[in-house]
Amino acid sequence: MKTSTASMLYFDHSASTPPHPDVIRTMTEVMEQIYANPSSIHHMGGQAEQLVRRAREVVAGALNASPNDVIFTSGATESNNLAILGTVGALAGGRSRHIITSAVEHASVYECFRELEREGTAVTYLPVDEHGRIRPEDLEAAIRPETALISLMHVNNETGSVQPLAEAGRIVREHPGIVFHVDGVQGLGKLPVDLEGWGVHLYSLSGHKIRGPKGVGALLRRGQAPLKPLFAGGAQEHRLRPGTVNVPGVIALSKAVRLAVEEQQANYERWSELRGLLLSRLEEWDPLVLNSPPLPLAAPHIVNLSFPGMKSEVVVHALEELGIIVSTQSACSSKLHQPSRVLMAMTNDTERAASGLRISMGADTDAASIERLSDALAEVTKRLAPMRTSRR
C-alpha cells in the first residue's frame, strides 16, 4: 500500500519546487485585486502596469542587470527557445551558419539545436569530461569565423555539474559578434550568478525551480543582443514577447527570484552538509556509482547515483512505496524510458546511464529526511539485488 502524500519525502526539487508561502500570498493578493490588462490605458491598467514595472526592477536588481533587460516569458523552455531561435532568426542571412552547445544541455536547448541542424545550420556539440563539464580548449577550438551563438547551461539538471562559464565568457569576449546564452535555471538560488563577469548576453530563468509559480519565467537580454520574436502580436515585452502579461505570475516570479538570491549562501552551506551526510552513509555500498562530481565542480542540491544492473524506474517506484520521491533524469525526458543522454555523454556506459537516479534537495530537506532516504535506498537495493544478479 502506498504511503499517504502528506508523509512523503520529496527529493525531486530539480523538477519542480513547492511554492514559497510568501510567493503564494503575493500571487493570491494580486489575482484578487489587480486583474486589469497592463496594456490598457485606463487607471486600473496603469496600476497593473506599475506592478509589472516593479517586478522587472526586482528581477533586474537581484541579478545586477537593467530593468530594460528583463523579458517575461511563460517559463524556461520559452526563454531558451527565444534565446536560441530568436538569435539565429535575427541573424538569418548573416553570421548564423554555425552555433555551439554542449552534449549535456536540457532538452529545451538541445532540441532547438537539433531542429536548427535539420534546417541546415552547422552545429557543434561539445563533449564533456567525466565530471560532465566542457573543456574550455574544446570550446575555443570549435569557434569559426561564422559562429553566431554559444549556449551553455550553468548547472546541469541531472548531475549538478557546473560549467566553466567564466572561462567560456573569456573566450567569447575574444570573438566579438558571438552571442553567449546561459541557461541559468538550475543555478539561480544555488550558486552565485555573475552575468557581467561571465560576459553573458542572454540568460534564462524559471519560476517553479525557485519556489515560484509554474508557467512564468524570464529571459534577460543584455547589451541589445539581436533577437527575433517567436510570436506575432502586440508590443509587449519590448516587442519581443507579444501577449497579455501574466501580472500575478511576474509579481510572484520577482518575489521568488529575490528570495532565492537572498537565501542562496545559506542554502548552499546547508545543502553541502546534507550532501556530505548522504554520501557518507552510502559510500560503502557495492552497487553504488556516484555520477555527480565533487564540490565545487557541482551544485550541492543535486546528487546523481547509478545502480548498474537495476532499472532506474523500478528503483523509483520501489522508493515511492516507502514514501520517498526521487527521479531518474530530467522530468522532460523521464517518460521516454531511455538511458540518460547526459550520463551517456559523461560515461559512455549504457548500463550506468540506464540506472541513474537523481536526488535533488530543497527547502524542506533536513538531516532526518536524508537518513530516511539512505535507509530506504539500502532496503530497496538489497531487495532488488537478486534481480540484478540474475539478469547478468
147 in Cβ contact with 172 (< 8 Å): no
Quickly tell me which residue has 538489497 as its cell. Answer: 382
Q: How confident is the model at residue 392 (pLDDT cuts 50, 70, 90)?
A: very low
374 in Cβ contact with 278 (< 8 Å): yes
In this predicted structure, what is the pLDDT of residue 341? 96
Query: What CATH fold (topology level) applies to the domain 21-259?
Result: Aspartate Aminotransferase; domain 2 (3.40.640)
Report the interhelical angle of 247-282 vs 21-33 (nearest 10°): 170
- Quick check: is 112 catalytic? no
In angstroms, rounded to a whole number, what is the distance separating the alpha carbons of residues 82 and 32?
31
Q: How confident is the model at residue 390 (pLDDT cuts 50, 70, 90)?
A: very low
Residue 388 has pLDDT above 90, yes or no: no
- Tens-place pLDDT, residues 120-142: 999 999 999 999 999 999 999 99
All cell numbers assigned to 127: 563533449
Q: How confident is the model at residue 3 (pLDDT cuts 50, 70, 90)?
A: low
Query: What CATH fold (topology level) applies to the domain 5-18+263-386?
Result: Aspartate Aminotransferase, domain 1 (3.90.1150)
> Which of the following is catalytic: 332, 363, 378, 385?
332
Report the interhelical angle of 107-118 vs 76-90 (nearest 10°): 30
In this predicted structure, what is the pLDDT of residue 387? 56
Collapse the DSSP code of 181 into the 3-class scheme (helix H, G, I; strand E, B; otherwise coil) and give the result.
strand
Residue 258 has pLDDT above 50, yes or no: yes
In this predicted structure, what is the pLDDT of residue 162? 98
The β-bridge partners of 99 are 123, 149
Residues of the chain with CATH 3.90.1150.10: 5-18+263-386
Residue 335 has pLDDT above 90, yes or no: no
Residue 386 has pLDDT above 70, yes or no: no
Residues of the chain with CATH 3.40.640.10: 21-259
In this predicted structure, what is the pLDDT of residue 6? 62
In this predicted structure, what is the pLDDT of residue 96? 60
- Tens-place pLDDT, residues 142-190: 999 999 999 999 999 999 999 999 999 999 999 998 999 999 999 999 9
Residue 389 has pLDDT above 50, yes or no: no
In angstroms, rounded to a whole number, what is the distance separating the alpha carbons of residues 42 and 279?
58
Lowest-confidence pick of 167-176, 234-243, 270-279: 234-243
Length of the chain equals 392
- Tens-place pLDDT, residues 8-45: 999 999 999 999 999 999 999 999 999 999 999 999 99
